[in-house]
Amino acid sequence: MRMRPSLKRRMIASRLVMLIVFAAVMIANLVYQFGRHDGGEADTYFTNAGNDLLRVVNRHSQVEPVSYAQLRLLDEMLRESTRLLETGSEKASFEMAMRVVSPGGKEIYRTPGRTAIPFEHVSSYPTDIEVNSVSWRIYGFNEKGGELLLQLARVNGRFYPDNLPDIIKAYVVIPLIFYIPVAVLVALVLAGYGIAPLNRLADAIIERKPDDLSPLNVEAGYTELDPVVHAMNAMLAKLDAAIVNERNFISDVAHELRTPLAVIQAQVHALTHARAAQERRIATKELRDGTDRAVNLVNKFLMSARIDARSYEPRLRRVNLTALLQERMVFFSQLASNKEITLELDAAGDCDYEVDSEMFGSMIDNLLDNAIRYSEAGTRVTARINLSQDGIQLSISDEGPGIPEKHRERVFERFFRVPGNEQTGSGLGMNIARRIAAQHGGTLTLSDGPESRGLTVKIWLPLERHLARAVLDSSRNSNAELANR
């Protein structure tokens, strides 16, 4: 079973990583300190060794001239002694050379194989020179009153004591082994103490009642927890607003349904007790009207709830908007005829667009129904489709009383009705229409009708936005027909 992530384990692990990094830095520092380019141990060693060799050679010279063989022996003894200063590089043995010059400037000894080292060009000591990409450090010794010049050369490098591993073990590794368990225990205690405020915040949230959406009154007191508390309070505020909105919606729905249901109830009672045929016809008509209004309200409530659902995805398919608009106008033709209103469609040709035909058709129904109901007898309701390279504009204009400009944004609010409006309605039509347009990536706006009379509702749809894609079939068909002619 996979272990769940834990903040406490994360804090402990971070402290252990810091401890290991610290130990690695200590080891690296020890290695560096012991392996410096020696102006340190190696310089001291060669200075002392050179002075000692020069004294030995000078004292022997006072008795008899020193021979080449004797100098060769001293050279080998010196090189053997320098093995105590082995390098940390791949060259396990220490490379060095010796040269002895007589008072007359004649070279009487040079380490075999070291002819490339330009001892004779060095006048100050110690001096670093480079021979065949190898750095050499040259020392010179000449006792005051002495007759010989002794020169020593060594390869520059990093020099480590033989017991460096033991030093690292004693001063780093062993203390680290004992310190890790203590560090883990201390980290456990500190981690528990560190996340205690977070646990208290969690307890405060758990202890709240399910219906308590008021802001958290927890004084976190810690900079790291403040964003969590602020985010929780912001989420609670949004949730509270959403619940209040839903409660208001349910209350408004109940209020809106009360009238048609009361009408239905009254007409059922009247129909039951009606004796004359005329009374029954009137009661039946009123009952039908009340039922139609109730059904219309319920359908709008369901459509509004459907649009609000987060899981809802429009079922887009390619639809001829011109044909869809014409179909819905035919559906409303009888209602328009009863009010002596003329319905007109102004479209250049077919216009294909990807829409949810059910929702888009419902939006057109709402707009046509409003336009007809609010128009006077003898007027016109005109629907237009205009095509451009930027998008499609669908508009529905009437010659009714219109909507005052100060109320044009408010009509998109749920259940808002323009003051003084005598027509029956739910106050949901414009709200639903705008949200359906937004679902399709478009916008819905209101403006004055033709000749500043009535109202024009404009729906703009982009050619390319989200899943929307328009095809200007009408323009292409017109061009093709002209070409054929």
Q: Please say whether the beta carbons of 433 and 366 come within 8 A.
A: yes
What six digits make up the tokens of 287?
């009952």
Q: What is the chain's alpha carbon radius of gyration, rounded to the nearest angstrom?
A: 50
Of 303, 423, 408, nearest in space to 365 by CA: 303
Cis peptide before 126 (omega within 30 of 0): yes
* pLDDT at 202 (0 to 100): 80
Say which CATH topology domain 226-308 has.
Helix Hairpins (1.10.287)
Return the bridge partners of 131, or none. Answer: 134
10-residue averages of pLDDT along the chain (485 residues): 66 75 74 55 81 85 83 86 52 70 86 87 84 86 76 75 70 77 78 76 81 74 76 85 74 66 76 78 78 72 66 78 90 89 88 86 87 88 87 90 83 71 65 84 88 88 55 42 35
* Domain ranges across the chain: 7-33+165-194, 36-159, 226-308, 317-484
Within this chain, domains 36-159 and 317-484 share the same CATH topology: no
Alpha helices (runs of H) in 339-428, residue ranges in sequence order: 357-373
Question: How far is 290 from 261, CA to CA, in rounded Å?
Answer: 7
DSSP β-bridge partners for residue 149: 101
pLDDT at 456: 92
CB distance 109 to 148 below 8 Å: no
Q: How high is the pLDDT of residue 479?
A: 39
Determine if the pTM surpasses 0.85: no
Architecture of domain 317-484: 2-Layer Sandwich (3.30)
Nearest Cα residue to 268 out of 284, 257, 282, 279 = 284
Does the structural domain 36-159 have CATH classification 3.30.450?
A: yes
Of 18, 4, 7, 5, the C-alpha closest to 224 is 7
At 294, which helix (H) or strand (E)?
Answer: helix 277-308
What's the angle, vertex CA 334, arms to CA 333 and CA 335, rounded to 5?
90
CA distance 322 to 128: 94
Query: Rounded to an integer, what distance in angstroms lies between the CA atom of residue 191 and that of residue 16?
Result: 13
Which residues, other chains included, contact 369 with Cβ-Cβ below 8 Å and sequence gap of 6+? 332, 335, 429
Contact 451, 382 (CB under 8 A): no
Distance CA 408, CA 75 (A): 108
For strand 352-355 and strand 391-397, is the pairing parallel, antiparallel, or unpaired? unpaired
Q: Give the pair of three-digit tokens for residue 452.
A: 């500043």
| Helical spans, DSSP H, in 309-444 | 321-331, 333-338, 357-373, 429-439
Nearest to 464 by CA among 443, 481, 441: 441
Are the C-beta atoms of residues 184 and 12 closer than 8 Å to each other? yes
